[in-house]
Structure 1
Amino acid sequence: MGSQSRLQEFLSKVEVELDNAVDFWLKYSHDDENGVICFSGFFTCLGKDGQVYDETKYCWLQGRQVWMYCKLYNTVPKYHTDQVLKAAIKGGEFLMKHVKDQNSAKCFFSVTKDGQPIKVQRTIFSECFYLLAMSELGRATKEQKYKGEAVKMLDKVEYWARVDNSELGRPELSGSPPTNALAIAMIFFNLVDEVCWDDVELQKKYSSLLEWSVEQTLQHLQREGSVVLEFVGTDGKELRGSQGRLINPGHAIETGWFLLQHAVKTQNEKLKETAIRDFILKPFNHGWDDKYGGIFCFLDANGLSPTQLEWNMKLWWPHNEALIAFLMAFKETRDAQYLSAFEKVFDYSMEHFTDGSNGEWFGYLDREGHTSMDFKGGPFKGCFHVPRCLMMCAEMLKELISE
């Protein structure tokens, strides 16, 4: 009963942290000077106090911030404001004008302050966050052009993932085995859900894509269900070497709540059990640092040292995903062990990641939980994981408290 008695406390802290995070991005990330002339996008390289330390605009984070603003605008009454909507529209237009290559449909990974391309990745993820932005911006503005962009891009990334990825520019080399990456297998749950939840015809159109995603994702459950591996062969078998043994606990947990959402919507009890037991609980138990607390960044399935230099760091986003996953698991099952796990992650996160003085969360801690890098935003951390987590947790906590 201890954790349940804290539900109101959890909600109060979550709502304060959400306001602090959103206020941080609204105050410091907007390129207002450029916005006088053109659609401006967002600065994401922000120091602990919001100071811009690099004007490079990273396009994963441009798309994520547009999506986040629109989701807040569409679902949280206090953020249904002209300020939030206008910023989202500016960001969306910047994406369409400067980030999407009109010839190839590829999206640049990074651009200059005024939108000149710097780098392109040979993956589908810039495009994934582009389409998420367009989808939610369409709902916020009621303009069909944005939804149309989202659907066109979803068709494109599905083609690249399932049919032919040669347009991505990644050559197939004889020494590199065909690989099923968890990041690609799982992201389509999120993409289809976001684009299609309010459109029955699109749900029908992409039903086979979701079936494929389930099949691809479950291939990562290896060694008789004891581990979720980040990479497996396209034949569903474990790869050789350290890449094949790599475990990313946070990624497995995020996949778990994507799977759980899908299982609940499709009333698939077996998949629901698999999502909670194998993709949320086991990776968390494996990844939790019993000595210092927090979730390890990477692990080796054989217990060897991972090759990633940051393997024992504690990053913000796995803790965000664990908070969502365990609260969702508790809401769906009412099993107290999941609320206890939520409480464990919640207390660690509030103690180590939050910044009561400046808002937003620090992103990078060393193993012992000390801040390793004190910037609030960078090439991969922006207005996304923290506010998404807090927004979703607030919604679930309100449901639990009302019941």
Structure 2
Amino acid sequence: MIQQALKQALQTELHRILHYWTTCLPDEQYGGFYGKVDHYNNVDTLAPKGAVLNARILWTFAAAYNLTGDASLLPLARRAECWFREHLLDTEHGGVYWAADHEGRPLETKKQVYAIAFAIYAYSEYYRATKEEAARAVAIRLYNTLQRYAYDHKLGGYFEAFTREWKPLQDQRLSEKDANEKKTMNTHLHVLEAYANLYTVWPESTLKKNIQDLLQLFRDRIIDRKSGHLHLFFNEQWQVKGRLVSYGHDIEASWLLLEAAQAIHDAELTAYFKAMALKMALATEEGLARDGGLWYEYEPSTQHMVAEKHWWPQAEAIVGFVNAWQLQPSGRFLQRAYDCWTFTEKHLLDRTNGEWYWGIREDGTVMEEDKAGLWKCPYHNARACMEIMKRL
């Protein structure tokens, strides 16, 4: 059976990923985890330590402990939480810093909503692992901070970024490749993901309403109902800016949106996003190559396909296509998931040094990018393994 083979393979792969982050990343000199490991497994001991990386490390070890019960993972989650709390939480102005230096001193103090969302996500998971009220209190405090400073009370949704003191920023971009717009799909998707995880440990009525509002924004503003793809960038008034298609985000959102609707037990939104998950999975198939891998992006205005295959869209495709198969067992989606894993196993797993390569280029050569860094984390691939273990 395909599902048994897939489950077994990803269960094995989860242990491989966790072994890498357990043995290669702990920083014994300055605490926490190293901020950068390059393609060749060379550690940059002086690299900045980003909030996104460290929140995702915290979430991964807590989630893996919650799923497997492996007691050896809990000290690593505690290590991540301790360093995050001491060096990345801004106790004066609220929120989290974007990055600290290698010793833990604040380096980039801007408040990026995306990073704060991952802190909420991580601390909610850590509370589930430890039942420490202080951890849940951090998640709730960060949630209240976002609602106070980042929420657009006039037009809905969340602005992207602020100064440390929550003043407007000229450059709102999450990364250099992003458009400088005040609202983005990506940030809203991960605020939703974070709020849904928080709701599972703190089922508060206002939080539920915030989650419903976010789901309705995806339904009414962010998803292109005709194509099933996501719009990625918006101005303050929710006017769409650009038509770039991100296949990895399409398939990731297909299951995260449904999961959020189910978390709050909203029957109407659950029914809607079950149907939409199938539509978005079908839309994602446009980006599948013959080898089973998922291409990166497509620009309709120039008909240009970025035919690279990065690590994280493959991880999300495996989960998203299994999710679609669970909704429609008679379809081909399970085979899509299995083919994507087969591609990943063949081309992206570093059998020598561990972890996954960043990706491969159109010509099949490996992209020599970080193994760990501000953006390369154990979140997408470890989460894919855990999702498949739970679902199958």
- TM-score (normalizing by structure 2): 0.86
Describe the shift of the 1:302–1:221 C-alpha distance in structure 2 as closer, same or farther (beyond 3 A): farther
**1:239-388 maps to which residues of 2 (within 5 A)?**
239=241, 244-264=242-262, 265-267=265-267, 268-277=270-279, 279-282=280-283, 284-290=284-290, 294-305=293-304, 311-373=306-368, 375-388=370-383
- Picking from 52, 73, 88, the partner of 1:84 is 73
Is 1:124 aligned with 2:113? yes
Describe the shift of the 1:252–1:273 C-alpha distance in structure 2 as closer, same or farther (beyond 3 A): same
Match of 2:29, SS state, is helix
Describe the shift of the 1:18–1:276 C-alpha distance in structure 2 as closer, same or farther (beyond 3 A): same
Question: Is the CA contact 1:250–1:295 (under 8 Å) kept in the aligned structure 2?
Answer: yes
Alpha-carbon deviation of 1:199?
Answer: 3.4
What is the match of residue 31 of structure 1?
27
Describe the shift of the 1:172–1:46 C-alpha distance in structure 2 as closer, same or farther (beyond 3 A): closer
Describe the shift of the 1:161–1:353 C-alpha distance in structure 2 as closer, same or farther (beyond 3 A): farther
Deviations 1:376-398 (A, max 9, x none): 2122102211111111112212x
Question: Is the CA contact 1:74–1:140 (under 8 Å) kept in the aligned structure 2?
Answer: yes
Match of 2:367, SS state, is strand
- Partners of 1:168 and 1:352 in 2: how far apart? 45
What is the match of residue 161 of structure 1?
151
- Partners of 2:199 and 2:333 in 1: how far apart? 29
What is the match of residue 176 of structure 2?
none
Describe the shift of the 1:394–1:236 C-alpha distance in structure 2 as closer, same or farther (beyond 3 A): same
- Partners of 2:286 and 2:147 in 1: how far apart? 32
Alpha-carbon deviation of 1:233?
Answer: 4.5
What is the match of residue 12 of structure 1?
8
Is 1:216 aligned with 2:205? no
- Partners of 1:44 and 1:288 in 2: how far apart? 32
The one-letter amino acid paired with 2:273 is L
Alpha-carbon deviation of 1:375?
Answer: 3.9
Question: Is the CA contact 1:20–1:360 (under 8 Å) kept in the aligned structure 2?
Answer: yes
Alpha-carbon deviation of 1:139?
Answer: 2.2
Match of 1:343, SS state, is helix
What is the match of residue 227 of structure 1?
229
- Partners of 1:193 and 1:381 in 2: how far apart? 23
Describe the shift of the 1:217–1:168 C-alpha distance in structure 2 as closer, same or farther (beyond 3 A): farther
Is 1:22 aligned with 2:18? yes
- Picking from 138, 143, 146, the partner of 2:132 is 143
- Partners of 1:46 and 1:14 in 2: how far apart? 24
Deviations 1:105-149 (A, max 9, x none): 232222122101222345212211222222222222221111001
What is the match of residue 175 of structure 2?
none
Describe the shift of the 1:55–1:213 C-alpha distance in structure 2 as closer, same or farther (beyond 3 A): same
What is the match of residue 193 of structure 1?
196
Is 1:55 aligned with 2:46? yes
- Partners of 2:308 and 2:274 in 1: how far apart? 30
Q: Which runs of 5+ in 2 are unaligned?
A: 173-178
Match of 1:373, SS state, is coil
Match of 1:118, SS state, is strand
Richer in helix (by share): 1
What is the match of residue 65 of structure 2?
73
Alpha-carbon deviation of 1:14?
Answer: 1.0
- TM-score (normalizing by structure 1): 0.84
Question: Is the CA contact 1:245–1:302 (under 8 Å) kept in the aligned structure 2?
Answer: yes
The one-letter amino acid paired with 1:53 is D
Match of 2:92, SS state, is coil
Equivalent pairs: percent with the same residue?
19
Deviations 1:289-339 (A, max 9, x none): 35x652222211334337xxxx33211001111111111221233233211
Between stretches 292-301 and 13-22, larger displacement belongs to 292-301
- Partners of 2:129 and 2:318 in 1: how far apart? 27
Question: Is the CA contact 1:320–1:386 (under 8 Å) kept in the aligned structure 2?
Answer: yes
What is the match of residue 46 of structure 1?
37
- Partners of 1:33 and 1:15 in 2: how far apart? 32
**1:391-402 maps to which residues of 2 (within 5 A)?**
391-397=386-392
Alpha-carbon deviation of 1:179?
Answer: 4.8
What is the match of residue 94 of structure 1?
83
Match of 2:296, SS state, is coil
Describe the shift of the 1:62–1:246 C-alpha distance in structure 2 as closer, same or farther (beyond 3 A): same
Describe the shift of the 1:44–1:323 C-alpha distance in structure 2 as closer, same or farther (beyond 3 A): farther
- Partners of 1:120 and 1:389 in 2: how far apart? 31
- Partners of 2:29 and 2:98 in 1: how far apart? 23
Q: Which runs of 5+ in 1 are unaligned?
A: 35-39, 398-403
